[in-house]
């Protein structure tokens, strides 16, 4: 019976029996040409009207029908019917014999090995769905059929919730999915979710299979919403001590409140579940993932005329790598090519962030960039509304970096004026296109996600959290940060936002390159960053005004003083070294050789080579330390710099020579290191 009328046939599919009814419609067993199918009937008035009008429903259903996997039910047909009053959309899928996982849970308890095997199959199935850019959105035991005693499964109803108008469900008290398995972000915004929502749901299922209980106990909708958003489930290991600690930790990660905290990749999850599907495995230390580059490194940002000095340094001492920019290489790549022969890590910044500002049109070298939208005007997000335009941009940007044999590739990125900047979505889509292009072109290199913005516009930690959730949903191979701000002032909010950005991104266990930042970077390393890049004797801060500056031209080189944690001009260093306390700042590196003659110290090549030498030594020392050791080292350096500055100023009052900013560095890094990310938004 449909809509009050008896209907035995739906466009050639004979109805055998009703299989069930749920949020999205009624499902029937049907038969056609001697074959059995399952047919889901959905009232057209609960479909997303915008999707229906734009024909998106047809596109989405065709995409669903294209998915083929052993653990996913196959969609085979779709169409429309009407009972004279109500219109319906139907979707036909293969008929699967078996029982729902919900029924299986009710009648028996699974061993840890059985639970791991079954959930491994769930993850394999949802990965096939995700590979087609579809999110299930309603993964729960009643939408999973266990097909045999071997615990093989079929996932049902994937992608259908995206076609439904959410208001038609919430007005009747129904949520998008069953609360017990619903990711927190689905309560915040049903549209702004990604694959990690399904990872959460599968993690909740694993929790229930092993413990016999749902992760959170909830008696009503209001309580459910509060607990999903705020309450942490009791760890499996404390509930059932015999559970392998790695499995307990995996479930804990999968049930994190913020998507960026669910940092286990598909490969990590499946590998671990494969391991424990065998019953005789012992527990081992906790899950750890390494960065693409596990070392702490300094990569000089080669600017203007210092490339030759960097090559000379590499020939005598060696560098870990370097960062060049595309306009610079298009002008001259002689020194870059010498470094290519040394087999060091090389990055070519495509400088797409500069192309959103008209100042680039005054610079002849920039006009040689092969991926310009126009040499006569700045580019805007509207230039990339067409997918083919975006694909061409991505291809040309990557091809240029490949031409120079860059070790790490950067996706095109732009400077974000605020948290609603249209470049956000353009850059996100560019990264996804970049990964697709690398795969199709057979290029096996990591692609990093560039992030650049004005820190003053992201002082609200919730903005940082939203940004991180978006960026990490692209599953980047690493991150390249170029943040605009004054990081030698006492504006603690700026430091706080930057520190939280790094700490949140560090949850993904990918390399974080800090570009153009001063020794505040040492605190950020203690929070999880692991590569620093800065100009030599200059460019230890990045500011938006650099993008708007029509004429180039470098600033006067300054000398890096490790014990004072900063760059200083010659007048200040003269004053510093004239004091007894300041004698502690004398450098005995291979280039300074203990000299206090500032004319010698500020000689062009010495400033550069000294800077590289000291930073390389600094990073090597940090590489040998555990996280707690990195934090202690940073705090010790800051306290030492503060005390030394006080002693120098006691002997001789020096203008523009203080330590207040160092105290802010210390306080911010300490606070962020101790904070829980789930509580960051309350600041």
Please answer whether residues 159 and 136 qualify as being in contact, where contact means their C-beta atoms are separated by less than 8 angstroms.
yes
Q: How many CB atoms lie within 10 A of CB 68?
A: 10
- Global confidence as pTM: 0.83
602, two tokens = 């500020």
Q: How confident is the model at residue 239 (pLDDT cuts 50, 70, 90)?
A: confident
pLDDT of residue 284: 41
Question: Taking the CB of residue 612, how many other CB atoms lie within 10 A of it?
Answer: 26
pLDDT tens-place string over residues 630-662: 999 999 999 999 999 999 999 999 999 999 999
Question: Does one domain contain both 238 and 359?
Answer: no
Per the domain annotation, does 552 fall within a domain? no
Q: Does residue 4 sit within a domain?
A: no
Across 446-467, average pLDDT: 94
Flag whether 3 is in a domain: no
Condensed to tens digits (0 to 9), the pLDDT of residues 70-104 reads 999 999 999 988 877 778 889 999 999 999 999 99
Same domain, 426 and 480: yes
Min mean pLDDT across 11-15, 72-76, 289-293 is at 289-293
- 36 and 83 fall within a common domain: yes
Answer yes or no: do 650 and 535 share one domain: yes
Domain count of the fold of the chain: 3
For residues 16 and 109, membership in a common domain is answered with: no
The angle at the Cα of 8, spanning 7 to 10, to the nearest 5 degrees, equals: 80
Whether 271 has a pLDDT exceeding 50, the answer reads yes
What is the pLDDT, as a whole number, of residue 553?
Answer: 56
User: Is 551 inside a domain boundary?
Assistant: no
The answer on 66 and 138 residing in a single domain is: no
Select from 243, 276, 309 the last residue of a domain.
Answer: 276
Whether 57 shows a pLDDT value over 60: the answer reads yes
Distance CA(600)–CA(302), nearest Å, equals 22
Statement to judge: residues 84 and 115 lie in one domain: no
Q: CB-based contacts of 214: which residues, under 8 Å, 6+ apart?
A: 180, 204, 207, 208
Higher pLDDT, 481 or 285: 481
The verdict on residue 548 lying in a domain is no
DSSP-assigned letter for residue 303: -
Q: Kindly state whether residues 201 and 145 are assigned to the same domain.
A: yes
Shared-domain flag, residues 121 and 32: no
Picking from 225, 243, 276, the residue at the C-terminal end of a domain is 276
SS3 566: strand
Distances (CA, A) of 320 to 264, 298, 317, 475, 654: 29, 7, 10, 26, 36
Same domain, 23 and 112: no
Same domain, 83 and 108: no
CATH classification at residue 326: 3.20.20.105
Annotated binding residue 40: yes
**Confidence at residue 52, expressed as pLDDT on a 0 to 100 scale:** 54
Q: Which of 68, 94, 120 is the last residue of a domain?
A: 94
In a domain, 282, yes or no: no
Q: How far apart are CA 261 and CA 190, in angstroms?
A: 19
Contact 409, 398 (CB under 8 A): yes
Domain with residue 47: its CATH number is 3.30.200.20
In a domain, 581, yes or no: yes
Beta bridge partners of 298: 532
What CATH number should be reported for the domain holding residue 205? Answer: 1.10.510.10
What is the extent of the structural domain holding 54? 9-94
Do residues 125 and 155 lie in contact, with contact meaning Cβ atoms separated by under 8 Å? yes
Q: What band does 678 get if pLDDT is binned at 50, 70 and 90?
A: low
pLDDT higher than threshold 70 for residue 246: yes
> Residue 390 falls within a domain, yes or no?
yes
Confidence check: pLDDT of 113 > 60: yes
List the structure tokens of 328: 């610079």
Q: Based on the fold, state whether residues 411 and 516 are members of the same structural domain.
A: yes
């Amino acid at each position: 019976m449909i809509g009050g009328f008896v209907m035995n046939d739906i466009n050639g599919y004979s109805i055998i029996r009703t299989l069930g009814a749920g949020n999205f419609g009624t499902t029937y067993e049907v038969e056609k040409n001697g074959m059995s199918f399952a047919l889901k009937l959905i009232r057209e008035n609960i479909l997303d009207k915008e999707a229906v009008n734009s024909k998106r429903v047809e596109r989405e259903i065709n995409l669903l029908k294209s998915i083929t996997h052993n653990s996913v039910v196959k969609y085979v047909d779709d169409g429309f019917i009407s009972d004279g009053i109500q219109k319906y959309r139907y979707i036909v899928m293969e008929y699967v014999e078996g029982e729902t996982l919900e029924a299986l849970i009710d009648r028996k308890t699974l061993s840890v090995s059985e639970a791991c095997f079954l959930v491994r199959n769930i993850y394999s199935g949802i990965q096939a769905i995700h590979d087609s850019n579809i999110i299930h959105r309603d993964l729960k035991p009643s939408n999973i059929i266990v097909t045999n005693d071997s615990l093989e499964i079929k996932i049902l109803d994937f992608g259908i919730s995206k076609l439904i108008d959410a208001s038609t469900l919430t007005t009747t008290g129904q949520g998008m999915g069953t609360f017990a398995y619903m990711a927190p972000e689905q309560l915040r915004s049903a549209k702004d979710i990604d694959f990690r929502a399904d990872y959460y749901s599968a993690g909740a299922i694993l929790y229930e299979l092993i413990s016999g209980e749902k992760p959170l106990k909830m008696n009503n909708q209001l309580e459910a919403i509060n607990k999903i958003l705020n309450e942490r489930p009791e760890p499996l290991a404390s509930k059932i001590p015999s559970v392998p600690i790695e499995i307990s930790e995996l479930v804990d990660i999968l049930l994190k409140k913020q998507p960026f905290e669910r940092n286990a990749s598909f490969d990590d999850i499946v590998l671990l579940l494969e391991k424990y599907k065998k019953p005789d495995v012992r527990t081992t230390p906790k899950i750890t993932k390494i960065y693409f580059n596990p070392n702490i490194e300094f990569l000089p940002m080669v600017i203007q005329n210092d490339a030759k000095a960097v090559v000379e340094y590499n020939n005598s001492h060696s560098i870990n790598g370097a960062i060049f920019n595309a306009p610079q290489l298009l002008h001259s790549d002689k020194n870059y090519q010498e470094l290519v022969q040394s087999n060091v890590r090389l990055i070519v910044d495509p400088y797409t962030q500069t192309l959103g500002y008209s100042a680039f049109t005054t610079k002849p070298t920039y006009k040689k960039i092969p991926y310009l939208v126009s040499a006569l005007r700045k580019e805007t997000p509207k230039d990339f509304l067409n997918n083919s335009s975006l694909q061409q941009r991505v291809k040309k940007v990557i091809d240029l970096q490949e031409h120079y044999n860059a070790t790490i590739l950067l996706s095109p990125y732009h400077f974000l004026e605020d948290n609603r900047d249209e470049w956000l979505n353009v850059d996100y889509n560019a990264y996804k296109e970049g990964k697709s292009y690398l795969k199709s072109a057979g290029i096996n290199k990591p692609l990093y996600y560039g992030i650049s913005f004005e820190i003053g516009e992201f002082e609200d930690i919730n903005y940082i959290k939203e940004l991180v959730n978006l960026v990490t949903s692209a599953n980047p191979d690493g991150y390249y940060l170029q943040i605009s701000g004054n990081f030698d002032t006492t504006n603690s909010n700026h430091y706080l936002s930057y520190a939280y950005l790094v700490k949140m991104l560090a949850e993904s266990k990918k390399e974080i390159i800090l570009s153009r930042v001063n020794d505040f970077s040492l605190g950020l390393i203690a929070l999880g960053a692991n590569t620093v890049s800065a100009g030599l004797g200059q460019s230890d801060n990045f500011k938006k005004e650099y993008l708007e500056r029509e004429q180039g031209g470098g600033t006067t080189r300054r000398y890096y003083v490790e014990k004072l944690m900063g760059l200083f001009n010659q007048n200040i260093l003269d004053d510093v070294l004239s004091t007894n306390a300041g004698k502690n700042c004398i450098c005995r590196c291979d280039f300074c050789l203990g000299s206090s003659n500032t004319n010698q110290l500020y000689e062009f090549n010495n400033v550069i080579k000294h800077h590289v030498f000291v930073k390389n030594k600094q990073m090597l020392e940090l590489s040998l330390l555990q996280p707690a050791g990195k934090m202690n080292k940073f705090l010790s350096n800051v306290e030492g710099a503060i005390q030394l500055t006080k002693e120098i100023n006691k002997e001789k009052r020096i203008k523009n020579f203080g330590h207040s900013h160092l105290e802010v560095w210390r306080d911010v890094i300490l606070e962020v290191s101790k904070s829980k990310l789930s509580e960051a938004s309350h600041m």
